[in-house]
Chain A
Amino acid sequence: MFGAHPRHTAIRAAVLVVTAGAIFGVVLLPVRLVGISMEPAYRDGGFTFANRLAFAWRQPARGDVVAIRMAGLRVVYVKRIVGLPGERVSIAAGIVAIDGRPLDEPSVRDRAPWSMPPVALDVDEYFVIGDNRAMAMEHHEFGRVRRDRIVGKLLF
């Protein structure tokens, strides 16, 4: 059962456990998707991982789908970044504008006529929103988020 060299088997098993623990405890955050706010890109009941080292060497960028922590990591928001620090974000007739210029969003399929006055982002703030703009705006969680709340970028 343990092979011809049980000691080697035990060492390999221990290395596997430690490596898996490091990867899934530190680097990759498993995310089970609940809700429809990120459809069509991410569907209710889907499963993915957030790479917690994605922003170790660069800052979050527009278009990144990120995991955003609440009080901890067991429940996170999954949203797309549309606004970067220092920018002004507004929404008119369902179209997101950055500093007054309409934003091209290929991930958004249908749009309800959402409207939001300009919001100025601070130096450590991003604006996040879901891809499902067909749903009622009042049922959609979106808005400004501090950089320290963004825990990683979704892998797929």
Chain B
Amino acid sequence: MPATRRLLVSLGLAAAIWMAWQWWVDPRRVIARRLDQIADVLSTPAGAGELERFARAARLTQYFAPDVHISAGRPGPSVTSRDALVAAVAAWKGNEPAGGRDVQVVDVEVTLESASAARASMTVRLVGVDPRTGVRSVDAREVAARLADVDGEWVITGARLVETLERP
């Protein structure tokens, strides 16, 4: 293989490896994956038992700071600790329809403020199906979150619902 072609192939391979490495370790990608994982924890498959629902709620502790502050907007409630958040989610899951609920995080935009702090905006979609009627319900909310790198893991330190349409 001519030297020039070898050089081009080597450069191309190095670029591909660098891009793959960036994709995997880029903090913005890591945070986006963490948000996807949270959505997966908040989702509940159809027919899930009460034990599974509460177990899923308990898994949230790894994604939130102990003093996390969650605001549901005006005049909605606020949660000011991780324990309170897990309890609230467990109660929410206890009232879920038997058809389950799918939580999706889309349009995620992450901004790094420093090596250990970040902001993220996203749209959270909740899709549920009534197993008796098959009627699909969809709701969506815009969320702004703050994250911090704690011991190598990105956790949410605060989040609030954003009023896309500002009601009077």
Contacts and interface: CB of A to CB of B under 8 A. Distances in A.
A6 interface: no
Instruction: Tell me the interface secondary structure of chain B in the complex.
Output: strand
Interface string B128-168: 00000000001011110000000000000000001111111
Given A34-B138, A35-B138, A72 B164 contact: no
Contact of A149 (B107, B108, B140, B164): B164
B168 A75 contact: no
Given A71-B162, A74-B106, A143-B163, 12 more contacts: A34-B138, A68-B165, A70-B140, A71-B143, A72-B106, A72-B109, A75-B106, A75-B140, A77-B164, A77-B165, A79-B165, A142-B165
A103 B104 CA distance: 39
User: Which 3 residue pairs across A and B have the least CB separation, nearest first?
Assistant: A72-B107, A143-B165, A70-B142
21 contacts: A34-B138, A35-B138, A69-B164, A70-B123, A70-B142, A71-B106, A71-B107, A71-B121, A71-B122, A71-B123, A72-B107, A72-B109, A72-B123, A74-B107, A74-B123, A75-B107, A77-B165, A119-B168, A143-B163, A143-B165, A143-B167
Size class of B's contact patch? Answer: 20 to 34
Nearest to A128: B165
A41 to B, nearest CB: 18
Interface of A: 34-35, 68-75, 77, 79, 116-117, 119, 128, 141-145, 149
